[in-house]
Structure 1
Amino acid sequence: MPTALITGATGITGRATVQQLLKSDQWTKIITLSRSQKSSHDDPKIQHATIDLQGDTKDMVSHLKEVGEVDYVFFCAYLADPDEGKALEINGTMLKNFIGALRDLGYLKHLKRFILVNGLKQYGVHLGVPKMPMVETDTWLEGNPWPPNFYYEQQRILSAAAAADANLWTWAVTYPQDVIGVAQANFMNLATALGLYASVYSSVSEDHELAFPGCKENYMAFNNWTSAKLHAEFVEWAALEPKAGNQTFNVVNGDTESWQNLWPRLAERYGAKVPKNMFPKEGKYKDFESSHVDMPTPPPLWYHAEKIGLDPEEIKNDHSWLHQQIDIAKWAERPEVVKKWEELRDKFGLDQKTWDNATWVFISFLLGRNYSCVTSMSKARGMGWKGYQDTWTAFDETLTELEEQGILPKASELRK
């Protein structure tokens, strides 16, 4: 029976991975690693160790020596930095030193597979409209004019490490998109910010409406999302499936969704309604500040333009942009909004950090971009993966879990 080691065990993907492995009888021991807090799971299978992944190899060795050999590693940790160059240095060094510590301890001799979690920055979705659907064989965006990408650096480090050990162990990399899940004592995620906005906006609105803060183009666009629970099922599959060795995989729910379908359901969940004219040219939202940002780099589609029969120059000059008819970060600072949050906080006994750490900038990007983001799951399907998750169900279940944990106000009791 195999043993597993999970880094970032209290984050969104790490926490879900721990839960998934605990559900299976085949795992003998699950070692959870995190920087500060212990995993909340109380199970005899779990052994927890505190480790600073920004430490050097020697420091990591001191923390990992009591852990012992493992069969599978699930590397779910990363550190964000607005400077892409620094993000590459931080996350590349973090992974390199961690693998170095496993090698120094002799643990790699026992390892079977190393799973690395990356994301859709792989395709440059943060830079503008991508070529769609995105597939794992798409060329990496490197060199001028593209900024550094730590996913590429990490994948090079991982494959080189396996090669250095004569490929005695294998690896797999996942690319989830806009993960829907819960992180332990971490309020910085998509679902939390979305739930806060829906709770407060619908409560402040005299007509109990829930306006979409982003742009019409985004509202009508098509996208994929990834349930953290489904991703956890996938990484377990990718660890144990022989054909998945030394492969990269897109991991999304399996449906293609749009806010035009999801938003009315979100409004209904919060006892609100969708405005009759969601995107007025002027008038309805004139009291709110809007925002508009043109993305400075050519969109990733530009790189692929010639291959797919488009004019590269035309694509290069057709910049993508982010637009919010209601700037959600500035909305969150409005006196009436803060007052309503404080009322809900006190009513439901919520943690002020929920509001203070809400990722308004991240959700503004997800709701404001003027393009679709659709990926292909054909590669994994072709290898036998059959997992599927309805995206609205994932949102609804995650919001419910956040409510039960006392992170979000209970939607069913907002008007009571």
Structure 2
Amino acid sequence: MTTPPNHALVFGASGIIGWAFVNEILQDYPAPNTFSRVTAFTNRPLSPKISQWPPSDKLHLISNLDLIHTDPTSLSTFLQSHLPDLETVTTVYFCAYIFSPDPAKETALNIHMLRTTVEVVESLCPNFRMLVLPTGVKAYGVHLLTSFPFATHLPLRETHPPLPEPHATQLFYTHQHALLQELSASKKWSYIDLRPDIVVGFVPNNNQHSLAQWLALYLSLYRYIHGRGAVVPFPGTERSWAARAQDSSQDVIARLGVFLSLQPRNEVGGQSFNVADTKVPGTWTGKWAVLCEYFGLVGVGPEEGEGLDPAEFLLQHQAERGEMAREYGLKGGHGTAEDGVSLSHVPSFLMKGFDFDRPLDLGKMHRVWGDGAEERDARGTWWAVFDRYKAAGIIPDFER
């Protein structure tokens, strides 16, 4: 008997990881007939043309779904009115996320969205079997910086103990896992947790946490102002320049998530998986020049002190940025103070604050993924993302 093709629901589909889940399925990963449909939900308006996804009859794009202000009844009505084939849904990739500087509020908002979604999908989709939840290395406390609890217990493994209190309670991941354990208990569906480090990826709309977006904007403007061959010091510190870690390509994250979601529930369900591009950790020392090379620039180590802040540079050169946008016909609304989305502290936090080793153990990922596991170097990961930003008209094509 042939197993019917899968139907994926991607919530938060315009986000950095959600976009990649849709993209990989539309690119026929892992095989052309694995998925018959992918329904992509976004909060902000998004057209297929702007999305940069490949054209496909598999895609059903639904915008203006506000999970924050949706209760189970209204979400159930919404899904039934927009999806006539709910009985075919097999898989949920839940990438919706709301940031709040208040840990309690952030937990409440994200738990509300997750609980509402799971309860409604469970009630409407009889063939629902797996939910994939991308979280991250905050599970190991890397966001605590100087209070990082596992600095002497490296590399970071999925078997590490939970964060000590009060940090565990203050992290919304803790409550997401507890909720999914509760909701999936004795059910025919389960869930998978993905733990990437810094996610390198493209988004068609603005993204508040995307380091790749910040650096694409920064290095483009730096090239425009200073010209080809200009020297660009690393915008961090000597310590962060040499800190060992691994990037996590949005493509690798999505591919692993899709692969795991298709495995038997009793083999992967309820488990966490580290995910990154390379088994061997690297440093900014080995990749900064590679990133700068894409823009025709020469990347060098940090200057004495902390170095230039990319967000501050963009703010200080708004006039030149406007000139560049007009000259190259660029789309606006990315990485600006007035967009209401960008978090200007992100580049500094990730490139200065992360000044300690935090390597991930990828043994479990590679064991389970087997022959499908792949590795990508800095050029392969970052240049692919910069190509996407260029194709979307967000950064210039200086060779045009």
User: What TM bracket, shorter-length normalisation?
Assistant: 0.7 to 0.9
Equivalent position to 1:29, from 20, 37, 54: 37
CA distance in 2, matches of 1:145, 1:259: 28
**Cα deviation, residue 38, structure 1:** 4.2
1:75 is the counterpart of 2:88: no
Partner of 2:78: 63
Report SS of the residue matched to 2:177.
Answer: helix
Alignment deviations for residues 161-190 of structure 1 (CA, whole Å, 9 cap, x no partner): 110xx1311211111221111112225421
CA distance in 1, matches of 2:6, 2:359: 35
CA distance in 1, matches of 2:299, 2:275: 31
CA contact (8 A) 1:133 1:374 kept: yes
CA contact (8 A) 1:2 1:28 kept: yes
Report SS of the residue matched to 2:303.
Answer: coil
CA contact (8 A) 2:218 2:311 kept: no
Instruction: Give aligned-pair identity as a percent.
Output: 25
Report SS of the residue matched to 2:380.
Answer: helix
User: Which entry has the higher C-alpha Rg, 1 or 2?
Assistant: 1
Letter in 2 for 1:326: L
Alignment deviations for residues 136-179 of structure 1 (CA, whole Å, 9 cap, x no partner): 1112214236661111111111111110xx13112111112211
**Cα deviation, residue 384, structure 1:** 3.5
**Cα deviation, residue 127, structure 1:** 0.7
Letter in 1 for 2:308: I
**Cα deviation, residue 47, structure 1:** 2.4
CA contact (8 A) 1:49 1:63 kept: no
CA distance in 2, matches of 1:13, 1:261: 25
Equivalent position to 2:59, from 46, 54, 57: 46
**Cα deviation, residue 340, structure 1:** 2.2
Partner of 1:244: 268
Letter in 2 for 1:325: G
State which drifts further: 213-222 or 25-34: 25-34
Alignment deviations for residues 333-379 of structure 1 (CA, whole Å, 9 cap, x no partner): 32xx2232122111111123124155431111111022122111111
Partner of 2:119: 100
Partner of 2:211: 190
Letter in 2 for 1:201: Y
State which drifts further: 36-45 or 114-123: 36-45
CA contact (8 A) 1:202 1:209 kept: no
**Cα deviation, residue 224, structure 1:** 0.7
TM-score normalised by the chain length of structure 2: 0.85
CA contact (8 A) 2:235 2:302 kept: no
Structure 1 pair 273–36 and aligned structure 2 pair: CA distance change class (3 A): closer
Structure 1 pair 278–47 and aligned structure 2 pair: CA distance change class (3 A): closer
Partner of 1:333: 315
Alignment size in residue pairs: 364
CA distance in 1, matches of 2:139, 2:166: 16
Report SS of the residue matched to 1:90.
Answer: helix
**Cα deviation, residue 388, structure 1:** 2.0
CA contact (8 A) 2:162 2:168 kept: no
1:376 is the counterpart of 2:361: yes
CA distance in 2, matches of 1:223, 1:233: 21
Letter in 2 for 1:61: S
Report SS of the residue matched to 1:44.
Answer: coil
Letter in 1 for 2:233: A
Partner of 1:280: 304
Partner of 1:89: 108
CA distance in 2, matches of 1:355, 1:47: 29
Q: CA RMSD in A?
A: 2.1
Structure 1 pair 147–194 and aligned structure 2 pair: CA distance change class (3 A): farther
**Cα deviation, residue 133, structure 1:** 1.3
CA distance in 1, matches of 2:308, 2:183: 47
CA distance in 1, matches of 2:325, 2:297: 20
Structure 1 pair 223–127 and aligned structure 2 pair: CA distance change class (3 A): same
Letter in 1 for 2:379: W
Partner of 2:128: 111
CA distance in 2, matches of 1:145, 1:227: 27
**Cα deviation, residue 134, structure 1:** 1.1
Partner of 1:260: 285
CA contact (8 A) 1:190 1:359 kept: no
**Cα deviation, residue 197, structure 1:** 1.4
Q: Which runs of no fewer than 5 residues in structure 1 stay unpaired?
A: 282-323
CA contact (8 A) 2:194 2:273 kept: yes
CA distance in 2, matches of 1:187, 1:56: 25
Structure 1 pair 28–271 and aligned structure 2 pair: CA distance change class (3 A): closer
Alignment deviations for residues 289-320 of structure 1 (CA, whole Å, 9 cap, x no partner): xxxxxxxxxxxxxxxxxxxxxxxxxxxxxxxx
